[in-house]
Amino acid sequence: MKTNDIKTVTIIGAGAMGHGIAEVALIAGYKVFLRDIKQEFVDRGVSMLDKSLKKLVEKGKVTSDHYDKIQNELLKPCVDMKEAVQETDLVIEAIPEIPELKKQTFKELDQYAPSHTILATNTSSIKITDIASVTNRPQQVLGLHFFNPVVIMKLVEVIRGEKTSDETMDTAFNFCLKISKIPVRVEKDVPGFVVNRINAPAHVLRGCILDEGIALPEEVDALIRKEGMPMGPYELLDYVGIDTHYHILSYYAETIHPDFKPYQAIEKMMKDGNLGQKTGKGFYDWSKGKPKIDPAKATDKVDPMDITAVQINEATKLIEMGACTAEDIDKAMLYGTGAKVGPMTIAKDHDPKELTSRLERLSKAFNKEIFKPTQMIREGTYK
Ligand code: CAA
Ligand code: NAD
């Protein structure tokens, strides 16, 4: 199927991501089925979508005529799976980050969707090949990984599973352009893909910082905001969802290395049901809106270059595995996180010997094998 043949899109899951993906497809003029498991969840998704869309109308980014067309004609909220997919050309799944749940859903999608339909997953971490394996059309299954908030963040990672066809990759890539996104190809199916994979060891390091009482969330968030990031890492986890973060780390621990096991602070928040913005409490209290981070609290006990170093190290692993180019890594980090400079550009200003000894020190201090420098770092071939 070619991109121009896509007329109808179905989004499975009307949560934080699903409503946003539906919104960008609707803005681009597609007919969109938005499906969740209960009417109240569908209604919640439609109401988030409407709130966001109204902001865009106020700003003149969406015309009021198009807003009316979306409401009266293009948007089809539903609960019934068959109704959601029986006439669709592209499905994008955005349900919780639980491998078995996704596989079960892909079995159903494969059963009900027409044979030409492309099935995409918005998974944050799970290998596309595993999800595709339960279908009879793995050549038409791929990852389309959007970033939160979907209407604002430009990046979509377009991820090839082991059996994804070139045609599916090209059609999906061009679809991303049609919905005004910046797609980046990920040619190797590695857990976490690009942005999340690069951030993964940074989460582990920041977990150690918390669990060992080196600094508090607000102190680190203030520091990282001072470094120019739009949000601190812990407020971002609250924004993303602590449950999503927990599932991602658990998956990495199983598939990449046990060092990724969820840290104590996250285990406790999961147990207490403090899942961040969505429940009103996480690292911060969100009950009265966004937390206010006091810049004066920035810690001097954490060296931000330590966090950058583990990200650069992970980025070189992706290059060594052939998942992505250095240029695409930086592009993805810019458009998926709001960073001002990408890790591979930062790396160019750093001496391989200094990076190697920094990573060895971190690996030893926190007893984490995943921080050990790669061959590319040790030999300085990233320069
Ligand atoms: N719909 C419409 N407009 C929205 C919006 C939405 N959903 N969310 C934010 N906006 C608008 C706001 O209305 C505001 O507009 P004005 O400037 O005209 O008032 C503008 O965006 C900025 O928003 P805020 O003033 O509320 O706050 P901010 O300046 O802090 O920006 C942010 C919010 C865009 C989220 C910014 O903080 C940011 O870029 N944060 C980093 C986000 C990030 O890293 N995302 C990736 C997460 S990881 C991921 O997604 C992958 C995964 O698999 C887990
Ligand atoms: P969420 O909890 O906000 O929403 C998930 C929605 O899926 C809920 O409304 C739930 O009722 C619904 N659901 C559950 N089972 C379903 C089923 N069988 N059929 C249809 N709907 C079902 O989660 P989210 O944050 O939107 O995350 C969704 C996916 O997107 C996950 O795979 C996550 O890893 C990924 N993702 C999340 C973010 C983020 O920042 N939150 C960013 C990128 C990717």
Span 71-105, pLDDT tens digits: 999 999 999 999 999 999 999 999 999 999 999 99
Q: Same domain for 67 and 103?
A: yes
Where does a domain end: 132, 167, 186? 186
Q: What is the CATH number of the domain that holds 107?
A: 3.40.50.720
Asked if omega into 149 is within 30° of 0 (cis), the reply is yes
Is 158 within 8 Å of 144 (Cβ atoms)? yes
The tally of domains found in the chain comes to: 2
Q: Same domain for 71 and 217?
A: no
**pLDDT above 90 (res 383):** no
* Annotated catalytic residue, options 125, 196, 250, 363: 196
Per-residue pLDDT tens for 309-351? 999 999 999 999 999 999 999 999 999 999 999 999 999 999 9
* Annotated catalytic residue, options 19, 93, 122, 124: 124
Task: Give pTM, 2 decimals.
Answer: 0.97
Q: Same domain for 120 and 57?
A: yes
Average pLDDT over residues 43-66: 98
Nearest-angstrom CA–CA distance, 172 and 118: 8
Q: Same domain for 161 and 17?
A: yes
Per the structure, the complete domain to which residue 73 belongs is given by 3-186
Q: Same domain for 378 and 340?
A: yes
SS3 content of the chain, % helix, strand, coil (to 5): 55, 10, 35
Q: Where do the H-state alpha helices sit in 212-263?
A: 217-226, 233-240, 242-255
Ligand of minimum distance to the alpha carbon of 103: 2
The answer to whether 145 is a known catalytic residue is: yes
Where does a domain end: 124, 151, 186? 186
The answer to whether 157 is a known catalytic residue is: yes
Q: Among 51, 54, 55, say which to mutate for ligand 1: greatest number of ligand atoms within 8 Å of CB.
A: 55
Atom of ligand 1 nearest to the CA of 20: 7
Q: Same domain for 210 and 334?
A: yes
CA 17 to centroid of ligand 2, rounded, Å: 6
Q: Same domain for 314 and 345?
A: yes
Q: Among 19, 34, 49, 95, say which to mutate for ligand 2: greatest number of ligand atoms within 8 Å of CB.
A: 95
Per-residue pLDDT tens for 272-305? 999 999 999 999 999 999 999 999 999 999 999 9
Q: Same domain for 27 and 92?
A: yes
